[in-house]
A and B are shown apart, each in its own frame.
Chain A
């Protein structure tokens, strides 16, 4: 796969994917920022982080999501923000995968911190893989059209 691939470097598709990913992550962050205690509980229930790190992780994660989302939409620090989102979605996939193997039916905490929002882990995995394709595209697409900030040309 070359970075000069026409499909990969399409200006318009790049813009659409950036907007979509940006909106998805901003939307995902709002509920968590509003109720950090609830989100911390969900993070705790993944049983992956040491207790001391849970609150700080639950506080910072949604802000990383919202900052990256805004940067992607306006086209500033496009490379860095899409890189972070790729790593984050990868981490989500691993976290959900581990708990799927453990046989624990957990709350995702993806878009909502409500206990009512329960989905099957398999569906969450499929959804995250779809999201990973989008974030990967946003990272590999180096088009600078429709961008506020001059992210360096590859």
Chain B
């Protein structure tokens, strides 16, 4: 067992050195300490790493909840239909970004000045950003991205829905 532990320490040291050297040389390098929000609070605005200037506005859970209360806002769930049917923000419409071409009719039926909030699973998913960008490009004027998404919504026990939509 002692032998095993000595080897373990050696392997970890070698792997760490390899990781650091390769990361330094790589074009995909990442900083050694990342800028991760420690605990996503309901008022912190989560912004994806690939966000650009000119992207639609990102909103916090609190703001998403406030917009949910005002009846004029349309929530768009950009996840796959299975995820949407399994559970979603109450009253949201499904426009899966990965199958966008099949949902163009739904998209075109939305008035351009409608207030829209896009979301997907949470910070592991950027579909809400992609759809938000595309819609803004297509001339939709009031797009907001709730990047905290389904995960934060569910954790806060805000109103949800499930099942197929007729």
A interface residues with partner B (beta carbon < 8 Å): 33-37, 40-42, 44-45, 50-52, 54-56, 58-60, 62-64, 66-68, 71, 77, 79-84, 103-107, 115, 139, 151-152
Give bound CA distance, A124 to B33, whole Å.
Answer: 29
Residue of B nearest to A49 (CB): B36
Question: What would 16 A/B residue contacts be, using CB atoms closer than 8 Å?
Answer: A36-B28, A41-B49, A44-B123, A54-B34, A55-B30, A55-B32, A59-B30, A59-B32, A63-B15, A63-B18, A68-B11, A71-B11, A79-B3, A79-B4, A80-B7, A83-B8
Q: Is B111 an interface residue (CB 8 A)?
A: no
Task: Give 8 nearest A-B pairs by CB, closest first.
Answer: A80-B7, A51-B36, A79-B4, A63-B15, A55-B34, A63-B19, A64-B15, A77-B7
User: Which of the residues B22, B31, B32, B123 comes within 8 Å of A45, measured between beta carbons?
Assistant: B123
Residue of A nearest to B12 (CB): A64
Residue of B nearest to A139 (CB): B4
A contact patch SS: helix
User: Which of the residues B8, B31, B33, B124 comes within 8 Å of A80, measured between beta carbons?
Assistant: B8
Interface positions of B from 29 to 46, Cβ below 8 Å from A: 29-38
Give bound CA distance, A56 to B19, whole Å.
Answer: 9
Give bound CA distance, A29 to B28, whole Å.
Answer: 15
Residue of A nearest to B83 (CB): A105
Give bound CA distance, A107 to B7, whole Å.
Answer: 31
Which residues of the partner chain A approach B6 to less than 8 Å between Cβ atoms? 80
Count of interface residues, chain B, beta-carbon cutoff 8 Å: 37
Residue of B nearest to A51 (CB): B36
Q: Is B16 an interface residue (CB 8 A)?
A: yes
Which residues of the partner chain A approach B12 to less than 8 Å between Cβ atoms? 60, 64, 84
Give bound CA distance, A83 to B12, whole Å.
Answer: 12
Q: Is B121 an interface residue (CB 8 A)?
A: yes
Give bound CA distance, A105 to B19, whole Å.
Answer: 29
User: Which of the residues B11, B18, B22, B34 comes within 8 Å of A51, measured between beta carbons?
Assistant: B34
Chain B positions 104 through 138: 1 when the CB is less than 8 Å from some CB of chain A, otherwise 0:
00000000000000000111110000000000000
Q: Is B151 an interface residue (CB 8 A)?
A: yes
Interchain CB contact under 8 A, A36 and B23 = yes
Which residues of the partner chain A approach B23 to less than 8 Å between Cβ atoms? 36, 59
Q: Is B20 an interface residue (CB 8 A)?
A: yes
Which residues of the partner chain B approach A103 to less than 8 Å between Cβ atoms? 154
Which residues of the partner chain A approach B37 to less than 8 Å between Cβ atoms? 51
B21 to chain A, nearest CB (A): 10
A116 to chain B, nearest CB (A): 8
Known: A63-B22, A115-B125. 17 other contacts (CB 8 A): A36-B29, A41-B123, A44-B34, A52-B33, A56-B33, A59-B20, A59-B32, A60-B19, A64-B11, A66-B15, A67-B14, A67-B15, A79-B3, A80-B6, A80-B10, A84-B12, A104-B151
Give bound CA distance, A138 to B13, whole Å.
Answer: 22
Which residues of the partner chain B approach A79 to less than 8 Å between Cβ atoms? 3-4, 7
